[in-house]
């Protein structure tokens, strides 16, 4: 995702935090499951963010 300059990105984050906007997290994968995460994304069945934990 392209968000513009780093200052614009910081402004966006501040606005999201100020308004309580939270991302929808569909599923989290351990870093060791990276290939599974890509397959999950490729399947197109997710709704929201796919996260990696490390």
- Domain of 51, in residue numbers: 22-54
Q: Residue 47: its pLDDT value, please?
A: 93
Q: Is 36 within a domain?
A: yes
* Residue 29 forms part of a structural domain: yes
3 within domain boundaries: no
Helix (H) or strand (E) holding 27: strand 25-30
Contact 34, 21 (CB under 8 A): no
Do 50 and 29 meet the contact criterion of CB atoms below 8 Å apart? Answer: yes
The confidence band for 1, taking pLDDT boundaries of 50, 70 and 90, is low
Q: List, for residues 11-25, the tens digit of each pLDDT value.
A: 989 999 999 999 899
> Tens of pLDDT along 2-53?
668 999 989 989 999 999 999 899 999 999 999 999 999 999 989 999 999 9
The answer to whether the predicted template modeling score (pTM) of the entire model surpasses 0.85 is no
pLDDT at site 54: 87
Token representation of residue 4: 């513009």
Residue 40 lies in a domain: yes
């Amino acid at each position: 995702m392209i968000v513009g300059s780093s200052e614009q990105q910081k402004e966006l984050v501040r606005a999201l935090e100020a308004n309580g906007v939270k991302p929808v997290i569909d599923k989290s994968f351990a870093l060791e499951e990276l290939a599974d995460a890509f397959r999950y994304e490729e399947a197109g069945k997710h709704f929201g963010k796919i996260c990696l934990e490390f």
